[in-house]
Amino acid sequence: MQDRRLVIMYSGGLDSLIAYHYGRSQGYQPHCIHLNFGQPYAEKELASILRASEWHPSVDVLNFRELYDLFSSRLTNHIIPSRNVLLAVLGSMFGPRIWINALDGEQNGKEHDKSERYFQDVSALLTFTNEFFQSQTVVESPFASMSKGEVIRWALGHGIPREVLFDTSSCYSEHQHKCGTCITCVKRYIAFLENDIEEPGYEVDPLKSQYFAELLIEIPQALQSRDFARFTEKRSAEFMALINRLGVPANG
């Protein structure tokens, strides 16, 4: 019988909530673990994670209090160095299969810690390291070939109420629930729009953000030059379909 143990490194964002339900639908028994680095938006994330409802898993929160001061000098923006390496190592202490979410298109990021090579290399390293107590350690993303729009579609199609999805925390702002200008706010707003849903609660309209203006230039350019190093072909096509539907002129 296949081992049904699954460790989900749970950020509290939209993708991790959906990954929990996705894992259960695949017959896994997820153990959700959140690592609190003390980053600027940590309190907001925790509030969204420690919510008790039929839709939310119970989450073990690991705090690195003693390291907060050391970390905080390195956490001046939303990027946490080596984050996914650390998450994989911690997850491997709890079970042989670890989920860290990376969606279609996110594997190409500058940080490399969501890349295909990262998942392959960290799985190989942890399998070798832990061989004496588990024969294989797999670090993977369940959503590697799905876009954010598709992940949301899966969730809605499996009965997760949209309000539960709205309540997840992805925004990098320390003070606002959904600033509407950071990259994650814009990405998730677009992904909901692709499902014909206008997500409420943004401080400013994400379609008026600088990042959206950049997408309007860069995605048509990517399609024209067929250079999908930054945006995958699928994500580019989805984006163009959306802005055509919204009647927004692209500037490529």
Alpha-carbon gap, residue 96 to 135, rounded angstroms: 8
CB atoms within 10 A of CB 119: 22
Beta 29-36 vs 59-63: how paired, if at all? Answer: parallel
Alpha-carbon gap, residue 114 to 248, rounded angstroms: 31
6: which strand partners?
30
Q: How far is the CB of 45 from Zn ion (least distance, A)?
A: 12
Token pair 């499996």 in the structure block, residue: 158
Alpha-carbon gap, residue 9 to 87, rounded angstroms: 7
Q: How far is the CB of 180 from Zn ion (least distance, A)?
A: 6
Q: How far is the CB of 173 from Zn ion (least distance, A)?
A: 5
Of 9, 75, 185, 193, the one binding Zn ion by CB under 5 A: 185
Of the pair 100, 182, the CB lying nearest Zn ion is at 182
Q: How far is the CB of 220 from Zn ion (least distance, A)?
A: 24
CB atoms within 10 A of CB 160: 18
Q: How far is the CB of 181 from Zn ion (least distance, A)?
A: 6
Q: Minimal CA–CA distance to 240: which of 206, 194, 205?
A: 194
CB atoms within 10 A of CB 112: 12
Of 182, 193, 219, 243, the one binding Zn ion by CB under 5 A: 182
Q: Which stretch binds Zn ion (CB under 5 A): 149-157, 169-177, 205-213, 232-240?
A: 169-177
Of 179, 190, 191, 219, the one binding Zn ion by CB under 5 A: 179
Number of chain residues interacting with Zn ion (CB under 5 A): 5
Of the pair 23, 180, the CB lying nearest Zn ion is at 180
Q: Which stretch binds Zn ion (CB under 5 A): 21-29, 98-106, 174-182, 198-206?
A: 174-182
Of the pair 92, 173, the CB lying nearest Zn ion is at 173
Q: Minimal CA–CA distance to 30: which of 97, 128, 87?
A: 97
Of 49, 165, 171, 190, the one binding Zn ion by CB under 5 A: 171
139 binds Zn ion (CB under 5 A): no
Of the pair 58, 77, the CB lying nearest Zn ion is at 77
Inter-CA distances, 90 with 95, 100, 132, 241, Å: 10, 12, 17, 40
Of the pair 209, 236, the CB lying nearest Zn ion is at 209
Of the pair 41, 239, the CB lying nearest Zn ion is at 41
60 neighbors 95 (Cβ within 8 angstroms): no
Residues that bind Zn ion (CB under 5 A): 171, 173, 179, 182, 185
